[in-house]
Amino acid sequence: MLEIKNLHVSVDGKEILKGLNLSVGAGEMHAIMGPNGSGKSTLSYVIAGREGYDITGGRIVFQGEDLTGMEPEVRAAKGLFLAFQYPVEIPGVPNTTFLKEALNAIRRYRGEDELDAMQFVKMMREKTKELGISDDMLKRAVNAGFSGGEKKRNEILQMAVLKPTLAVLDETDSGLDIDALKIVAEGVNKLRSPDRSMLLITHYQRLLDYIVPDKVHVLAHGKIQRSGGKELAMELEEKGYAEFGEAAA
Amino acid sequence: MSSASPTNLSFVDGFDAAGAALPGAELKWLKTLRQSGFERFNDQGLPSSKLESWKYTRLRSLEDTKFLPVTDEDAVASVDLVPSVLPASDSRTRLVFVNGRMRPELWVDGDLPDGVSVECLRDMLTRGADWTEDYLGKIAHADIGNQALLELNTAMMDSGFVLKVEPGVKVEQLIEVVFIGGLTKHPVAYFPRNLMVLGKGAEATVVKHHVGMGVGAYFANSVSEIDVGEGAILRNYMVQAEAKDATHLSTVHVRVARDATYESFNLALGGRLSRNEVNIRLEGTGAHASLNGAFLMRGSEHCDNTTQIDHLSPHTTSREVFKGVLDDQSRAVFQGRLVVHKGAQKTDGHQLCKTLLLSTGAEIDVKPELEIYADDVKCSHGATTGQIDETALFYLRSRGIPEALARNLLVQSFLGEALDEIKSEEVRQAFTDKVLHWLPAACFLSEEWRGE
């Protein structure tokens, strides 16, 4: 599904990722954990294709295709999704309009028929019901005035509508209290499926109490330092990242 | 100041000749009024950029063009389809002017209630409607610096409309006035003078559309004088979409009486050079003005919004929101002056101007000014200039929305705050459509945008 080989990425001329390797199989849930400044967000942005994140070496291969130089909207059409750490507020643009434009743009790209208003509304009703999200959120402008929890739930809703084959969840737990965290985690779990891989990027272990990964990787100093099963997360919870900080210093 | 000599304007040169053809030539008071306008314009000439209020907008290009007065032939140019901002309707009164002349065959009589009249100024002056003497040239004033363009219009006024609403009459339907420019062989100049008078407790909504057809240069110098009586409400909306080579200089003077409301929105979408200067006097206690607009420019267009709001009485309020989107090499000017006069305690005045620059060649000059001579007031102003938010753009694109459409959505999002100020739902939708049409056409949003 996703193969990252010896990836080097620079931002403003400064190298952040320094030879990162990662392999995520179909339907797998991987967690990437790491201290602040380790390159976690850089990894999520470079997968999604944000400008300013320059690949200086190595490559990212998604479903057999090299993503280098591919526009973000094309990546989305090919089944990639990034749930933002800080979802952006877009006042004046209704959530439904935004979702419909996004979904239909993706369908157009894939040569599928666009959904008309009726079909779209019907589909949205199913999704909001499935995720326990109120219709009110659809009428409001994209993330405008949303609470932290609402913003994250909106990201999950978008994922449900766009149905990606690979979802990267960047610090989805940040800024959430425990109740909001549970709701968001529940949404993520509902969207797990054998043909959808997920990459969960987080600083804290607590998210993994609710979303159980198949594999855990520790990212520090621009590289995966260690990989293991979910027990690795428990170990980090006890010992912290000090070991990796010192090892690379 | 020789470069600003009015003799450079050929139509003013021919003033005497044109004088006989101007409407109402036999009215003595009008003759005196025109004469004084002519003399004062002659003394001042076209405003030069040495004047503080004209620092950023130069009129030199006007002097290089030989404008002629509108002939009968110009005025009968064929118009197959009236370019309306609003959806077509038989139940809405509509006046259509072509190069400043009213076209009776395009008039739609929307069955206005008793106590409301909308007429062509030319017809009224020809008929000698004496009541206009109390208003023409009386609401507009030159206490606020250079008003040469007002004087020029006073000398030459040859068209425009007169709206009169009797006390207590509330007009539900929108009154639409379309001014079409262009379609002439030579560059022409015309001088619409609009007068709107609302009696005590009256209410009306006017939608003006200044629109260019065909190519070629023309010069529209328009003036509106507006009197909003005690407790009355006037909503005055304008779309300015002049032709590429057109110049439109507009001056608006408004006086707002006790507990009355004046609300306006100016959507500027085109023209080589446009300036909309608005002067509002909040004369009575509790008077309110809501003065808003959006300007969307591209190419080498230049748009100037210059406003002054005078708070003359206690408990007067004003709110001003302008938003601009500038592409290519376009330029815009926003000058907003808010004056709280002595004794106008409890004044509440807020002003905001935000501009989005879509290209590095675009430029905005913003000059907010607060002048306060009372001690118990709440006033603020703010101005920002920025570019499309790259994070927001990436967010939209990461959801599959193509870049061009994502940019459109962000421009629309940006303008929303200003468009939301339009109280009339119908007008707000119509103006939003205008904005959508202005955006690059390759990535139009579907119609449902509005309904949702």
For the residues B283-307, what does the mean pLDDT come to? 97
Q: What is the mean pLDDT of residues B168-172?
A: 96
Phi, psi for residue B88 in degrees, rounded to 5 = -60, 140
Q: How confident is the model at residue B13 (pLDDT cuts 50, 70, 90)?
A: low
Q: pLDDT tens for residues A145-203?
A: 999 989 999 999 999 999 999 999 999 888 888 888 998 899 999 999 999 999 999 98
Measured CA to CA, the distance from residue A102 to residue B430 in angstroms comes to 25
Residue B106, burial from CB neighbour count under 10 angstroms (0-12, 13-18, 19+)? middle
Q: How long, in residues, is chain B?
A: 452
Q: Closest Cα partner for B397 from A158, A212, A213, A75?
A: A75
Residues forming a β-bridge with A196: A193
Most confident of the following: A29-43, B130-144, B349-363, B427-441: B349-363
The whole-number average pLDDT for the span B80-105 is 88
- pLDDT for position A179: 87
Instruction: Name the residue facing A73 among B390, B402, B409 (closest C-beta).
Output: B402
Q: Looking at this predicted complex, what is its ipTM?
A: 0.96
DSSP β-ladder status, A29-33 and A90-94: unpaired
* Beta partners for residue B197, in sequence order: B164, B227
**Which of B275, B288, B245 shows the shortest CA–CA distance to B61?**
B245
Report the DSSP beta bridge partners of residue B307.
B278, B336
The predicted-structure confidence for B260-294, as pLDDT tens digits, reads as follows: 999 999 999 989 999 999 999 999 999 999 999 99
User: Closest approach of chain B CAs to the CA of A183, in angstroms?
Assistant: 22
pLDDT beyond 50 at B158: yes
What's A208's domain CATH number?
3.40.50.300
User: Rounded to whole angstroms, how far apart are CA atoms B395 and A163?
Assistant: 17
Determine the Cα–Cα distance for residues B50 and A117; give it in Å rounded to an integer: 57
B405 in contact with A, Cβ within 8 Å? yes
Cα separation, B127 vs B183, in Å, equals 29
Residues of chain A found within 8 Å of residue B415, distances taken between Cβ atoms = 92
Question: For residue B297, what are the CA distances in angstroms to B311, B330, B359?
Answer: 31, 6, 11
In whole angstroms, what is the distance from residue B106 CA to residue B95 CA? Answer: 7
Residue at B223: amino acid letter: V
Whether residue A72 and residue B397 make contact (CB cut-off 8 A), yes or no, is yes
State the average pLDDT for chain A: 92
Question: CA-to-CA distance for B253 and B136, rounded, in angstroms?
Answer: 11
**8 Å CB contact of B413 and A93:** yes
Q: Phi first, then psi: give them for residue B293, nearest 5 degrees.
A: -175, 170
Residues of A (125-154) whose Cβ lies below 8 Å from B: 139, 141
Total of domains in chain A: 1
> Is residue A233 over pLDDT 90?
no
Pair B187, B65: CB distance under 8 Å: yes
Which of A49, A51, A105 is closest, CB to CB, to B402?
A105
With an 8 Å Cβ cutoff, are B452 and A139 in contact? yes
Q: Is B417 on the interface with A (CB under 8 A)?
A: yes
CB contacts of A81 in chain B (<8 Å) are 398
> How many whole angstroms separate alpha carbon B409 and alpha carbon B396?
9
A–B CB contacts, 8 A cutoff, strictly below = 90
**Residue-range domain boundaries for chain B:** 2-284, 399-452
Would you say residue B143 has pLDDT above 80? no
Buried b (16+ CB within 10 A) or exposed e, B164-196: bbbeebebebbbbbbbbbbbbeebbbbbbbbbb
**In the structure, what pLDDT confidence band is assigned to residue B64 with cuts at 50, 70 and 90?**
confident
The mean predicted confidence, pLDDT, of chain B is: 90
Res B1: pLDDT: 35
**B404 Cβ under 8 Å from any chain A Cβ:** no
> Distance (Å) from the C-alpha of residue A239 to the closest C-alpha of chain B?
35
- Classify residue B191 by its DSSP letter: -
Mutation target among A80, A88, A142, A168 for the B interface, most CBs of B within 10 A: A88
